[in-house]
Structure 1
Amino acid sequence: MHSLPLFVNLMGRPVILLGDGEAARAKRRLLDRAGADVRGEEGADAVLAIVALEDEDEARAAIARLKARGVLVNAVDRPALCDFTLPAIVDRDPVLIAIGTGGASAGLAKALRQRLEALLPAVLGGLAASLGKARGAMRERWPDAAARRRAIDAALAEGGVLDPLGRGDAAGVERWLAGQAGEDAPARLEEVALLCDDPDELTLRAARLLGQADHIFHAADVAPAILDRARADAAREVRDGAPDWAGPGLALWLHKGRRA
Structure 2
Amino acid sequence: MIRSLPLLHRIAGKKVVVIGDGEMGEAKTRLVERAGGIPCGEPEAHQAKLAFIALEDEKAARAAAKRLGDKGLLVNVADMPELCEFTTPSILDRDPVLVAMGTSGASAGLAKQLRLRFEKLLPQSLGTLAAKLEQSRDAMRARFPNGSDRRNALDAALAEGGLLDPLDPQAAERVDDWLTGSEQAVASQTIEIQLASDDPDDLTLKQARLLGTVDTLLHDPKVPAAILDRSRADALRRELPFDGDTPEGLTIILRMA
TM range (shorter): over 0.9
Q: Contact 1:51/1:59 (CA < 8 Å) preserved in 2?
A: yes
The answer for the alignment partner of 2:6 in structure 1 is 5
1:117 aligns with 2:123: no
State the number of aligned residues: 255
**Separation (CA, whole Å) in 2 of partners of 1:255 and 1:246:** 17
Matched ranges for 1:145-184 at <5 A? 145-166=147-168, 168-181=170-183, 183-184=184-185
Mapping of residues 178-257 of structure 1, within 5 Å:
178-181=180-183, 183-240=184-241, 248-257=248-257
- 1:39: which partner in 2? 40
CA distance in 2, matches of 1:15, 1:22: 18
Q: In structure 2, how many angstroms separate the alpha carbons of the residues matched to 1:114 and 1:201?
A: 27
Whether contact under 8 Å (1:186, 1:247) holds in the other structure is no
Shift of 1:148: 1.2
Asked if the contact 1:220–1:240 (Cα under 8 Å) also holds between the matched residues in 2, the reply is no
Specify the alignment match of 2:130 in structure 1. Answer: 128
Matched residues in 1 for 2:33 and 2:69: separation? 23
- 1:46-100 Cα deviation digits (max 9, x unpaired): 1100000010111111111000100110011111101100011110000001111
- Structure 2 unaligned spans of 5+: none
- Establish whether residue 27 from structure 1 lines up as the match of residue 15 from structure 2: no
1:141 aligned to 143, 146, 150, which one? 143
- Between the aligned partners of 1:255 and 1:168, the Cα distance in structure 2 is 40
Amino acid at match of 1:174: D
* Residue identity opposite 2:8 in structure 1: F
Q: Is the 8 A contact 2:213 2:232 kept in 1?
A: yes
In 1, Cα distance between equivalents of 2:246 and 2:26:
58
Q: CA 1:4/1:168 → structure 2, altered by over 3 Å: closer, same or farther? A: farther
TM-score for the superposition, normalised by structure 2: 0.93
Deviations 1:156-199 (A, max 9, x none): 11111001013553221111111145x43223222322222222
Once the two structures are TM-superposed, the CA of residue 224 in structure 1 deviates from its matched residue by 1.2
Q: Distance in 2 between matches of 1:186 and 1:64?
A: 56
Hey, what does 1:86 align to over in structure 2?
A: 88
Note if contact 2:90-2:102 (Cα within 8 Å) is conserved in structure 1: yes
d(CA) in 2 for partners of 1:167, 1:185: 25
Q: What is the CA–CA distance in structure 1 between the aligned matches of 2:128 and 2:136, rounded to whole Å? A: 12
Equivalent position SS for 2:42 = coil
User: Do the aligned partners of residues 228 and 168 (structure 1) sit closer, same or farther apart at CA in structure 2, a change above 3 Å counting?
Assistant: farther
1:244/1:9 CA distance change after superposition, 3 Å: closer
Contact 1:189 1:245 (8 Å CA) reproduced: no
